[in-house]
Amino acid sequence: MSLFTGAGVAIVTPMHEDGSVNYEKLQQLIDFQVEGGTDSIIICGTTGESATLSEQEHIDVIRAAVEFTDHRIPVIAGTGSNSTDTAIYLTKEAEKAGADGALVVTPYYNKATQKGLIRHYTEIAKNTSLPIIMYNVGSRTGINIEAATAATLGKTVDNIVAIKEASGNISQIATLMQLAEGSLDLYSGNDDQIVPILSLGGIGVISVFSNICPKQSHDIVAEFLAGNTAESCRLQLDALPLIHALFCEVNPIPVKCAMNILGMEAGPLRLPLTEIEPQHTDLLRAEIAAYEAKIGSKLGFAK
């Protein structure tokens, strides 16, 4: 059975002005997501600034997300690391906390070989009963999970069940789905490629866009899977200008800015991420307003 079908939110980690985690706001954001139709909470991923959370904060935030979600939808914990031992530790802690699955990014900086990736993911999977989603995002990690490697892992390791594909390489993703022969669920890791990846057999997206547009992100997937491909495509294309604005600087700088514009109080970023450039704030304001006009409703907490 799939961990989830639809749109899962790669949720931000809201911060107080002093940089500490704002757990009260995290609970409010999770409630907003559940009420908005999000199909899964993905906590402590890239968008959640996991790279600048201490190990204890990382575990505490996962525990809080599980508590706040309260079994309404699945919680998938980001537990990847460039150290296999650390990834095993974080995955074990996520399992203890009650997470429903783990999202495990490739080991960044080390630049493991494909053989190393197979060993890395296999060792993590051996140490947990959680279902694992591999995360392929070479633009951040400097390493690509090749199609044959992903297919091998999906076929040979029982609890490696899915891949979040953010390589942007549609040809590679098509080859992966051909080689995997149904052994892996496929999620889009890019908000501007939801429909193309669904067309290759994907079952959803792990989304930054969902932080401010949970219903709209959910509907893109739901319409496609219901057979309404033209409507799904229209929704995807309508959202593209705002999606592009949400990536005008490195994620999660723009999405936190967008949430703050909308009064969602996501708070500041932790260094080395810095606050957005003024011209990009203006761009986000313009694209939010244009998208609200297009869909005929307000975003964020506005009713």
One of 25, 121, 135, 291 is an active-site residue; which one?
135
Q: Is the dihedral of CA 106, 80, 217, 131 positive or negative?
A: positive
25-35 per-residue burial string, b: 16 or more CB within 10 A, e: under 16: bbbbbbebbbe
Q: How far apart are CA 137 and CA 36, in angstroms?
A: 27
Report cis status (omega within 30 of 0) of the bond before 252.
Answer: yes
One of 164, 187, 256, 291 is an active-site residue; which one?
164
Cβ partners under 8 Å of residue 47, min gap 6: 10, 11, 12, 208, 211, 251, 252, 255
Contact by Cβ (8 Å): 14, 22? yes
Contact by Cβ (8 Å): 251, 303? no
Query: Is 89 among the catalytic positions?
Result: no
Query: Is 291 among the catalytic positions?
Result: no
Q: In this structure, which amino acid lies at residue 178? A: Q
Q: How far apart are CA 275 and CA 269, in angstroms?
A: 7
Active site residues: 135, 164
